[in-house]
Amino acid sequence: MPGAYWINVVREVRDPERLAAYVALAGPAIDAAGGRFVARGTAAAAFEAGSLERTAVIAFDSVEAAVAAYESAAYREALAALGDGAVRDIRIVPAVAT
């Protein structure tokens, strides 16, 4: 199986405290589900329609594992803590087999 990547872009921060509460819960939830952070932070460069937003790339063993992590009880708790504290764009894409 080639694996998968969860790509999370924070488009707008509405409440930094709620975002911090989300981060404190989401990291352990993702780790527990087998996710491995491979990149995170503010984008170093952006081109075409891109913008310099906070982005995280998380590797999983499969698309199914990434989706299960998103749907897990622990991650739902993180989402509840975030509420409307940020506008995000999350995508799960299959890795390319090499």
Q: What is the pTM of this model?
A: 0.90
Asked whether 25 and 77 are in contact (CB, 8 A), the reply is: yes
Q: Where are the alpha helices (DSSP H) in the chain?
A: 16-32, 63-71, 73-82
Mean pLDDT over 66-83 rounds to: 98
Residue 83: closest CA among 22, 10, 3: 22
Name the average pLDDT for the chain: 95
| Residue 17 CB coordination number (10 Å) | 9
The pLDDT value given to residue 49: 86
The full set of domains in the chain, from first to last, is 4-94 (3.30.70.100)
H or E segment at 54?
strand 54-60
pLDDT computed for residue 2 by the predictor: 80
pLDDT single digits (tens) 41-62: 999 999 998 889 999 999 999 9
